[in-house]
Amino acid sequence: MTPKITTPAWRDLLRVLVVVALFWTMAMQWELSEKLAHWLQSYERFQLDEIPLTLLALSLGLAWFAFQRMHEVSALLEANRHLTQRLISAQEDERRILAQELHDEVGQACTALRIEAAYIGKAIHNNPNAALESAKRIDQSSLRMHSLARDMLKRLRPPNLDSLGLEESLKELCSSWEQHCHIQCHTLINALPHDLPDALSTTIYRVTQEALTNIAKHANASQVWISLNGSQDVLTLSISDNGQGLHPTPSGSHGLGLTGMRERIASLQGHIHFEDAQPGLRIHVQLPITQVTS
């Protein structure tokens, strides 16, 4: 798709000035104001002679309205730039953490494996017991590397989505989170359409994962309810808890986790709302399935 080329603002302003100058010239040539005033005078009983000043007031009002909307658009653009910078920074931090873990864990483990393998080659005939212990250490190092690889893959891509599907993945996420955080997690999933788009399934999973992380960190809740319902057109997700609710910040902004949730949902033309459940917080998400598939 060819990008649309925008016209510079000064050219648009120049065109407006040219049109105004042409109209002014025509008005002087044909004395439009006098003719209009004479024509309106004949309709004095209908107060049509007040139309010019009324139109002037309307023009000033529309100019003020456009200025206000322009100010709002500028504020939104600034907020979007700030959000983009925060998200890019978060991505770079995540990549730096992954790179550091790869360097520290995998690099050291590979070095240890090479040393142990070389030792086994030397001690296999002279000291078989020592070679056996070295083989055991190799096995332990390989298990640690496997565990590290699984953790990294989990952070990059939910592994259960491909093998279990969205419904079972959410149930497994809720169960493991319940065991880890000691908070009761209830799931109710009904009527999910078959063959959901991958982008939609990943977004639902990540939003639920982030919501559970925020609840564990900040909500001080004892129970969580997750419901997911689908129709032909809309997928509806609801996550609620009985904790402290959403505390307003002095600046009126939310943390990067909630901001990331908003951005994920907005990228799929969906809507997300944070409601005071009294007690606790309710997160209500609606995602159009047709928008994602098309």
pLDDT digits (tens, 9 = 90+) for 55-79: 778 888 888 888 888 888 888 888 7
Helices and strands of the chain, counted as H and E runs: 10, 5
Helix (H) or strand (E) run with residue 240 in it: strand 234-241
Confidence of residue 46 (pLDDT cuts 50, 70, 90): low
Position 239, amino acid: I
pLDDT, residue 250, reads: 47
Quick check: 95 and 87 in contact, CB under 8 A? no
Cα separation, 240 vs 225, in Å, equals 5
Cα separation, 92 vs 88, in Å, equals 6
Q: How many CA atoms lie within 13 A of 259 on its CB side?
A: 15
Rg (CA), the chain: 32
Q: Looking at the whole model, is its pTM more than 0.75? A: no
pLDDT, residue 2, reads: 47
Of 229, 218, 233, 232, which is closest to residue 281 (Cα–Cα)? 218
Q: What's the rounded mean pLDDT across residues 268-274?
A: 89
Residue-averaged pLDDT of the chain: 80
CA of 223: how far to CAs of 218, 244, 269, 272, in Å? 13, 12, 30, 21
Q: Which residue has the tokens 């209908």?
A: 46
